[in-house]
Structure 1
């Protein structure tokens, strides 16, 4: 249960979220005096909040006790399901091969890199490609795009190119017959991208908490893109302990979303894609580029991809995956979107 459902004032609810208390479990170990001091409220108010939270946790346990037992499944069943989980193409064959066929649905994937490397371009590409119908090898879903400098004109260009690619694919499959007519128009693709803009880390946390309800009402949403997850957590944030707690709560929520809408709802799959910024850290006697928010955050994602420059060519490096070997592959950002590298050196390089 989330703190947003507690019967308290909006002001008090906002203070809880701003301080990192987004779920009832996050309030389990805090004392009334510490909560009162942190939220700048009276001890009586803090006591009432903790009392309501304790009652809510008790309801959650009583309502969900049977579900824990009924939800058990064997490792063999899990493996069988994973073999049929779809992937979202990046429109770059080399990059898809690196990722085992594309971005894995039902997992949290983090993608980071320096400015200008193509993070937002890739995010828009995935928001478009998630809508490719199953007949063309896609998942036929809709997209949620959070934050970032979403460029609707660029999305239109990529949508038009995607429809052209599907038309070419249809002709290829039906060489000796009349090809299928593509029913999708660029307008339809743009209508299926839900864009949310947030202006602070509190708004970002509130929106992440709201996604469960939104996706429940829009079960055809199959990708959530956060571009970027780090921006508001790196601006004037001096309390590192608070930042760590906020990020941990948010990461847990995103992981639960990815699992809930793939395993619990069998007809639906959801992938969460987080775009990150880079920073530097001193290691082995020199400064090296690394993704922001530190090592603790890196454990929050199932897959981690780092985009980087190799001379004048863009490369993607698969740094973390539970089932794939670390490797890198080139890609290009073109007027049609993400595509194979134009360089003659397209061989996937092992790191």
Structure 2
């Protein structure tokens, strides 16, 4: 349900919406002191708002459209949410098509590449998303910020600057300099502004990786407008430093659960880079993403990059809502772009 339905003064409703609280669920996990600080109001006013929201979020016997208990949700509410979820473009139209519009918010998307596809190219995919998430809403983007967690030291800030320049130019070419919101967006549409909205964390061990992910809830609450979390790569420290596979599985499952909760709570996308390994299946060795079968259930979507002749392709290996499909893509000086051929559905493995 929308905040606009609460019996509050227009001033308080405006403060809630400006602070990013648009639905009852956005208030479900916040305390009154935190809300008071965010809205610059008294603790008493914040407590009253939370009481109104809690009362309005109970079962509505007339139409059954409200949550039954705090945290529960009806199937109708879920459908409405899915229809309003935004996507982050990859800058490759063919890839966006098979992804249903781009990288989906509220989901975890895992990307890996076969041997020889190029670690640099996988890194460019991540940088492309960290830039594209910042395209202003008036230009069809999310106008958000990015968190980039680097476990391998592979982030290339010079490449990010180049991709930001290309993204800005492509956006202006597509929408035109005469767009109604151009002057208002002009200051934001600068490479330095794009780089300033990428929050970079360099982690050198699995314990640091755990600590950073545990800190993200507070960090995102303070920063606001974060719309993507990128982990490059989720695999590295857990393949290097772990002998106890059962313990590794438990820790990774806990991290995946935390990331999924962040995706749902803040309506953001989580994108994880993974490495590829081989697995013996059906009498032969086949390529699959690392960390085993248990980890394979942790992500919503899995995308594998591979070669088809001299052309790079992206293949949807797993998704609850997307069909298995492949799309060609190119890695250019501007970043990820369309390849010459059109996407086609093929069976990989």
Is the 8 Å Cα contact of residues 171 and 179 (structure 1) preserved in structure 2?
no
2:298 to 280, 297, 300: 300
2:143 to 137, 140, 153: 140
- Aligned equivalent of 1:222: 227
How far apart are the structure 1 equivalents of 2:158 and 2:168? 16
How far apart are the structure 2 equivalents of 1:321 and 1:238? 30
How far apart are the structure 2 equivalents of 1:285 and 1:116? 28
How far apart are the structure 2 equivalents of 1:319 and 1:91? 20
- Aligned equivalent of 2:270: 272
Task: Deviation per CA, 1:297-333: give whole Å up to 9, x if none.
Answer: 0100111111111111111111111211111110010
- Aligned equivalent of 2:217: 212
Q: TM-score, normalised by structure 1?
A: 0.75
- Aligned equivalent of 1:283: 281
How far apart are the structure 1 equivalents of 2:248 and 2:71? 33
Secondary structure at the aligned position of 1:165 is classed as helix
1:98 and 2:94 are equivalent in the alignment:
no
1:346 and 2:323 are equivalent in the alignment:
no
Is the 8 Å Cα contact of residues 305 and 316 (structure 1) preserved in structure 2?
yes
1:241 and 2:239 are equivalent in the alignment:
no
Give the CA deviation at 1:285: 2.4
1:78–1:179: structure 2 CA closer, same or farther, 3 Å change rule? Answer: closer
1:251–1:166: structure 2 CA closer, same or farther, 3 Å change rule? Answer: same
Secondary structure at the aligned position of 1:346 is classed as coil
Give the CA deviation at 1:157: 0.4
How far apart are the structure 1 equivalents of 2:234 and 2:180? 46
Is the 8 Å Cα contact of residues 94 and 348 (structure 1) preserved in structure 2?
no
1:348–1:237: structure 2 CA closer, same or farther, 3 Å change rule? Answer: same
| Alignment length (residue pairs) | 274
- Aligned equivalent of 2:236: 231
Task: Deviation per CA, 1:177-201: give whole Å up to 9, x if none.
Answer: 8893433110000000000000001
Is the 8 Å Cα contact of residues 324 and 345 (structure 2) preserved in structure 1?
no
How far apart are the structure 1 equivalents of 2:125 and 2:259? 20
Task: Deviation per CA, 1:23-57: give whole Å up to 9, x if none.
Answer: xxxxxxxxxxxxxxxxxxxxxxxxxxxxxxxxxxx
Q: TM-score, normalised by structure 2?
A: 0.75
1:151 and 2:156 are equivalent in the alignment:
yes
Secondary structure at the aligned position of 2:240 is classed as coil
Give the CA deviation at 1:71: 2.8
- Aligned equivalent of 2:260: 255
Secondary structure at the aligned position of 1:258 is classed as helix
- Aligned equivalent of 1:330: 328
1:244–1:347: structure 2 CA closer, same or farther, 3 Å change rule? Answer: closer
Is the 8 Å Cα contact of residues 149 and 232 (structure 2) preserved in structure 1?
yes
Deviates further, 251-260 or 156-165? 251-260
How far apart are the structure 2 equivalents of 1:212 and 1:155? 25
- Aligned equivalent of 2:182: 180
